[in-house]
Structure 1
Amino acid sequence: MEPPTGVLASLLQFFRFLPYFIGLLLLGTIKGVLFFPLVCLLMTVGNSALILGLWPAHLCWTYYCVIRAKQVGPVLKLVLCPLIFVVLILWPVVGIVSSIVGGAAYGFLSPVFATFDAVGEGKEDEFYHCVYDGTWSTIQGCFTVIRDFKDVCFHSYFSIMDDLRDRGPPDAKYYEIRILHLPGAIVAGVLGLLIDVPVISILALFKSPFMLFKGWHRLLHDMIGREGPFLETICVPFAGLAILLWPLAVVGAVMGSMVSSVFLGAFAGVVAYQESSLMMGLHYIVAALSLYDEYSNDVLDMPEGSCFPRPSYRKKEASLQTQSRTPSFSKPNSFQKMPSQNGSLRRPMVDLKPIELLDGLFKECHRHGEVLVSEGIISVKDIEDAKSGKENQGVFSIGLPAYCILQMLIQSAKANSLGLLLSDNTEITSTNRPKDTFFDWFLNPLLVMKEQIKAENLSPALEDYLGKSVLLNGDPERLRSCCTVNAPEDEVKRAELEALARRLRGITKSISRYPTFRRRFETLTRSLLENMATKSGRDRSRNGSGSAARTRSSIVRFLSDRSFKRSKSESNSDIELHNPIEKDVEIQ
């Protein structure tokens, strides 16, 4: 649908759209008012039960892991123990309050957005979807949030704490605190809180009217001219909703500035401790005000600069600035030759989200997992151990995702991609990457590893060895049994490949702590086991081998576990499928 041209046509389109928008808004608001108490109650009860139920375990296990941590020195442990107790005391309060606010916001806004979304998807019965969408799906989404929160509190938390307890200190040195510099750091942190928090809060309140009216001016201008978010017809309802909810966005921005000012001010203590100078901490207090003022001016399109001075708060900054002014500048190797852009320009440039990338990773895990299971590299025991949490080597839970990521890195290196090239030829670059800071923690190390793989110029045999080493966690016995090539004779080459494999598995282990990872992992496990059961059934019908029957029987017993039961609609077919196998096992 082309946007209207001319002022009269734009006004006519606006007046025609206005009652339609108001009707959808009223319908969505009614559904939100009806459902948000129930969703808020469910999310509050579910999350609160998890928080309070696991709090004693979190308390004991946190102190146990901190005391046993090899990377932390004794003095630092004494300092951390009271701080950890304060955090653990505040955690139930913050978690329960956040669950109440988050449940209320999700329960109200989800039906509203689903009502608008039902109009622009080309559905056959739009009236039915306008009424139904956002009702049962909101309840399901609430249970999904509770499930993911449980995985974070149980799986992700204990995984992080186990790493803290078991990981050895780097270079045989542990982290220790310098007691002599603690008083200066505490003074700088307190002064930062007393100065930065009120000043930044006043600045945020002073600039909030500018943000409110500039945002309304921009949105109304786009609405009349059918530009920006109003250009596409499917986005018009959401853009109109943004006009009404813009004051809430301004309030949220002001509150976010106030909360961030606490961390900005307290960071002065960190600067004073790192630089071993109270004066540098005081410099940072003033510089933080200038940084916030300049950043907010850029966001609001206000005049550049700041009325606050910006002193240097790092001792190395002056020397680095001096070096940058010298005429003899030596370019690093990464700037000597720009990578080719021919392949990148042909890739589809789309905006990506971390959830979509995680879904793509599990699709690749399913595809590669079927191949590796059929080849016997991944066994049923590996999958059973991963499901029960007894997988010591992590072949299935960590090795398989790491193996899929490695294949993506190898493909990106061979294609001379500027970013990461996915299996569907979608390229992740700095322009279309997800804007989440959490994603940058994984993207930047993966880009470095891609360049390392490109520099290694691995042969197909070494690629196979590296892939199996990543998958099997360097287990020499399993590597000899399944790998077609032995380890490189060159010790330096072998050490580089082993370090690359360990680093990739470490990154994958960090990705496994993502809130939705565990739920998708169990779906992958169930799907692979069902496919294995189906294929072994076909093999059993062809040759009638007893080994296939025993394999299928073990899979059937695994699928009958409580956490992997299917729905009732599939139970009849399951019973018909299981009975012949059980009889064969009894005969054997």
Structure 2
Amino acid sequence: MEVPTGLSAKLCSFLSFLPFFFLLFILGILKAALVGPVVVGIILIGNSAVILGLWTAHFVWTYYCVVKTKKLGPVLKAVLLVSLPVPLALWPVFGIVGSLLGGVGYGFFVPLLATFEAVGENVTDKLYHCFLDGCWSTIKGGCMVVQDFTDFCFHSYFSYMDELIETVLPDEKPMDIKLSKLPSCLLASLIGVPVDMLLITTVALWKSPCMLFKGWKRLLEDLIGREGPFLERVCVPFAGLAIILWPLAVVGGVIGAIVSSFFLGLYSGVIVHQEGSLHLGLAYIVAVVSLFDEYVNDLLALREGSCLPRPKYRRNMSPSSERKKLGDNHIVNSKNGRDNPCTSKLISEKSRTMKWTIQQYKPMQVWDWLCKSCEVNGRILLRDGLITHEDIEECILRGNCKKLGIQLPAWSILQCLLESAKSNSSGLVISDGVELTRVNGPRDKVFEWFIEPLLIMKEQIKGLQLDENEEICLRELVMRGRNEKPEEWDDTEFASSDNVRRAQLQSIIRRQQGIVASMSRIPTFRRRFRNLVKVLYIEAIQNGASANHIGGILEARYGSKKWIQDEDRNNGDEGERSTYDNGNVV
């Protein structure tokens, strides 16, 4: 890619870019003006109907579960029962307002971005796609947002509540707070919330002009000089869009700081309970403002540290733990324990370009891999008889997908762990030629919570050194065994009689199923898993006589087997189909 050099070349490149950019921008605005109100109406009306329709059930069931649970002590339970009416009463307000803002953002920005994506180098017939991309797909996306939100309110919420009222182990102690510390905790929170909200909001507003102009300066340098992420020509239009929309990012950062300040102030009550001192809770209220100021300074590459006071708020807090390490580019001088500002600034300036040299996988890519892996493995299990037509019938007709929804993803994850352990990979081998490690993995905290335990389990499996017979039997036990006690494997064909070895493997399986149970509460999981079950249904029909029972029931209920294609069109999931190469996910 040829990059313009010299002032005249850069100026000519910039001037030739302007008409092209403004035409795309005006077209995107017109598409957003036509599509946006429709999407806002769909999301606002749909989500509001779900919120208001289920509000009474959520209110009653929340109180019932809090009263019935044995995981909470009497004092904490009493505090929750008294304070629950406030968040439950505010939930419809925040839910409806959030749906309105989310609908406006989704309905406006998706058509606008789709207009710029249509001029990509790999897109054919660019003129056609510039006018049509982001119109109908955005409307279908709005419908999927309502569907996922409905799944969350119907499935995820009640799943969390069911977990709250589960039977506790005899040696498990309930979570509780000491009654003597409660007044001090409440006092610290009542002081911390208004003070921290005021001070952190002030710091955020004070630093926002710096964030605005430094961001504009960097984006303009990248646009004119074609450096950093805008080196490729196809990214240049997005550079102009980023410059125009950067003030919205600054406003979003300030709003995020204001919202987070509420919870930071509220956390002062937790400090008081943990440390047993009101004085330390008040010290945290002051210190957290300094920590926030230092975080903003590091983010904007300003002066080192903060000029605001930072008293100790932990009894055992060492000097090194007072300062949080922000990112992988945090350089510390080993002699005096202080940052090297020159080195930090150098890495900060180059960090954008350096990140583009590493293939960084996004959370959605990992999510796609799991869904595609479940589809491939589901066909294998259906062929081998580990998934039966009764399981598919139970999931499609009665909505009971506990076996398919938990054990099938757990089986797919086990396959990944076994292959990763045998290949001596430092991470997870998620498909042919693709390895997920701590370096290229998603920086999303939610996915880190899922991936880190899997890396630990992979090392445990590697240390057990399973033979081929044990692996084959283990795959079947994941789908059919209870896997709670070592003695439950006595009647199976598992090769080893070592109860310690069995207990270790059963623990790994239970942890996998627990991870999958948590993943099943993510709204998009249920929608995508329903599409997976439809694929397995088609596979069962193609297998012949064994699927006649399902086919007869579904035809009687839905009238025709075309309901699958109709559902796919309604859900707009054609883009989520799997691609195969000799049975492997690609």
* TM-score computed with the length of structure 2 as normaliser: 0.85
Query: Where does residue 40 of structure 1 map in the other structure?
Result: 40
Distance (whole Å) between structure 1 residues aligned to residue 18 and residue 44 of structure 2: 37
Letter of the structure 2 residue corresponding to residue 428 of structure 1: L
Task: Tell whether 2:428 aligns with 1:420.
Answer: yes
| Per-residue deviation, 1:140 | 0.7
Residue aligned with 2:265, SS: helix
Moved more, 192-201 or 519-528: 192-201
Assess if the C-alpha contact under 8 Å between 2:483 and 2:510 holds in 1.
no
Query: Where does residue 564 of structure 2 map in the other structure?
Result: 566
Instruction: From 530, 550, 555, give the equivalent of 1:554.
Output: 550
Assess if the C-alpha contact under 8 Å between 1:39 and 1:142 holds in 2.
yes
Query: Where does residue 364 of structure 1 map in the other structure?
Result: 373
Letter of the structure 1 residue corresponding to residue 144 of structure 2: T
Instruction: From 471, 494, 505, give the equivalent of 2:479.
Output: 471
Distance (whole Å) between structure 1 residues aligned to residue 359 and residue 123 of structure 2: 24
Residue aligned with 2:165, SS: helix
Identity %: 48
Instruction: From 408, 411, 423, give the equivalent of 2:419.
Output: 411
Distance (whole Å) between structure 1 residues aligned to residue 152 and residue 473 of structure 2: 34
Query: Where does residue 209 of structure 2 map in the other structure?
Result: 209
Distance (whole Å) between structure 2 residues aligned to residue 495 and residue 570 of structure 1: 42
Letter of the structure 2 residue corresponding to residue 461 of structure 1: N
Q: Which has the larger radius of gyration?
A: 1
| Per-residue deviation, 1:558 | 3.3
Moved more, 410-419 or 109-118: 410-419
The count of corresponding residues between Structure 1 and Structure 2 is 531
Distance (whole Å) between structure 2 residues aligned to residue 299 and residue 319 of structure 1: 21
Letter of the structure 2 residue corresponding to residue 361 of structure 1: L
Q: Any idea what the Cα deviations from partners look like across 1:390-448, whole Å, max 9, x if unmatched?
A: 648x3211001011111111222222222222122312222222122211221122122
Distance (whole Å) between structure 2 residues aligned to residue 287 and residue 423 of structure 1: 46
Task: Tell whether 2:177 aligns with 1:186.
Answer: no
Moved more, 448-457 or 126-135: 448-457
Query: Where does residue 376 of structure 1 map in the other structure?
Result: 385
Q: For the structure 1 residues 518 and 107, does the alpha-carbon distance in structure 2 shift closer, same or farther, using more than 3 Å as the test?
A: same
Query: Where does residue 529 of structure 1 map in the other structure?
Result: 537
Q: Any idea what the Cα deviations from partners look like across 1:335-392, whole Å, max 9, x if unmatched?
A: xxxxxxxxxxxxx952222222122112111111111111111111122223345648
Assess if the C-alpha contact under 8 Å between 1:70 and 1:169 holds in 2.
no
Instruction: From 425, 433, 443, give the equivalent of 2:441.
Output: 433
Residue aligned with 2:543, SS: helix
Q: For the structure 1 residues 245 and 447, does the alpha-carbon distance in structure 2 shift closer, same or farther, using more than 3 Å as the test?
A: same
Assess if the C-alpha contact under 8 Å between 2:280 and 2:313 holds in 1.
yes
Query: Where does residue 279 of structure 2 map in the other structure?
Result: 279
Assess if the C-alpha contact under 8 Å between 2:185 and 2:278 holds in 1.
yes
Q: For the structure 1 residues 121 and 533, does the alpha-carbon distance in structure 2 shift closer, same or farther, using more than 3 Å as the test?
A: farther
| Per-residue deviation, 1:283 | 2.1
Q: For the structure 1 residues 319 and 528, does the alpha-carbon distance in structure 2 shift closer, same or farther, using more than 3 Å as the test?
A: same
Q: Any idea what the Cα deviations from partners look like across 1:484-513, whole Å, max 9, x if unmatched?
A: 723742222222222221111001100111
Q: For the structure 1 residues 372 and 257, does the alpha-carbon distance in structure 2 shift closer, same or farther, using more than 3 Å as the test?
A: same
Query: Where does residue 151 of structure 2 map in the other structure?
Result: 151
Letter of the structure 1 residue corresponding to residue 109 of structure 2: L
Q: Any idea what the Cα deviations from partners look like across 1:54-110, whole Å, max 9, x if unmatched?
A: 111111221122222121123322111122221111111000001111111111111
Q: Any idea what the Cα deviations from partners look like across 1:28-75, whole Å, max 9, x if unmatched?
A: 001111221111111100000011111111112211222221211233
| Per-residue deviation, 1:8 | 1.2
Residue aligned with 1:352, SS: coil
Query: Where does residue 585 of structure 1 map in the other structure?
Result: none
Distance (whole Å) between structure 2 residues aligned to residue 480 and residue 527 of structure 1: 33
Q: For the structure 1 residues 219 and 94, does the alpha-carbon distance in structure 2 shift closer, same or farther, using more than 3 Å as the test?
A: same
Distance (whole Å) between structure 1 residues aligned to residue 528 and residue 568 of structure 2: 21
Distance (whole Å) between structure 2 residues aligned to residue 319 and residue 205 of structure 1: 29
Q: Any idea what the Cα deviations from partners look like across 1:150-169, whole Å, max 9, x if unmatched?
A: 11111111111111111415
Assess if the C-alpha contact under 8 Å between 2:483 and 2:506 holds in 1.
no
Moved more, 490-499 or 550-559: 550-559
| Per-residue deviation, 1:462 | 2.7
Distance (whole Å) between structure 1 residues aligned to residue 488 and residue 274 of structure 2: 48
Residue aligned with 2:180, SS: helix
| Per-residue deviation, 1:460 | 2.4
Q: For the structure 1 residues 266 and 232, does the alpha-carbon distance in structure 2 shift closer, same or farther, using more than 3 Å as the test?
A: same
Distance (whole Å) between structure 2 residues aligned to residue 28 and residue 482 of structure 1: 65
Query: Where does residue 122 of structure 2 map in the other structure?
Result: 122
Query: Where does residue 444 of structure 1 map in the other structure?
Result: 452
Distance (whole Å) between structure 2 residues aligned to residue 381 and residue 484 of structure 1: 23
Q: For the structure 1 residues 8 and 411, does the alpha-carbon distance in structure 2 shift closer, same or farther, using more than 3 Å as the test?
A: same
Task: Tell whether 2:71 aligns with 1:62.
Answer: no
Assess if the C-alpha contact under 8 Å between 1:470 and 1:504 holds in 2.
no
Distance (whole Å) between structure 1 residues aligned to residue 178 and residue 196 of structure 2: 26
Map 1:90-169 to 2 at 5 A: 90-169=90-169
Query: Where does residue 518 of structure 1 map in the other structure?
Result: 526
Residue aligned with 1:159, SS: helix
Q: For the structure 1 residues 483 and 224, does the alpha-carbon distance in structure 2 shift closer, same or farther, using more than 3 Å as the test?
A: farther
Distance (whole Å) between structure 2 residues aligned to residue 302 and residue 460 of structure 1: 57
Assess if the C-alpha contact under 8 Å between 1:533 and 1:556 holds in 2.
no
Assess if the C-alpha contact under 8 Å between 1:219 and 1:243 holds in 2.
yes
Q: For the structure 1 residues 273 and 193, does the alpha-carbon distance in structure 2 shift closer, same or farther, using more than 3 Å as the test?
A: same
| Per-residue deviation, 1:131 | 0.9
Letter of the structure 2 residue corresponding to residue 35 of structure 1: V
Distance (whole Å) between structure 2 residues aligned to residue 22 and residue 28 of structure 1: 10
Distance (whole Å) between structure 2 residues aligned to residue 389 and residue 364 of structure 1: 25
Distance (whole Å) between structure 1 residues aligned to residue 426 and residue 407 of structure 2: 26
Query: Where does residue 78 of structure 2 map in the other structure?
Result: 78
Query: Where does residue 399 of structure 1 map in the other structure?
Result: 407
Moved more, 236-245 or 161-170: 161-170
| Per-residue deviation, 1:467 | 2.8
Structure 1 residues not aligned, in runs of 5+: 322-347, 537-547, 572-588
Q: Any idea what the Cα deviations from partners look like across 1:279-317, whole Å, max 9, x if unmatched?
A: 221221122112111110000000111112333322233
Map 1:486-501 to 2 at 5 A: 486=494, 488-501=496-509
Task: Tell whether 2:88 aligns with 1:88.
Answer: yes
* TM-score computed with the length of structure 1 as normaliser: 0.85
Moved more, 266-275 or 407-416: 407-416
Q: For the structure 1 residues 396 and 354, does the alpha-carbon distance in structure 2 shift closer, same or farther, using more than 3 Å as the test?
A: same
Distance (whole Å) between structure 2 residues aligned to residue 570 and residue 172 of structure 1: 46
Q: Any idea what the Cα deviations from partners look like across 1:197-223, whole Å, max 9, x if unmatched?
A: 111111111111110110111011111
Letter of the structure 1 residue corresponding to residue 134 of structure 2: G
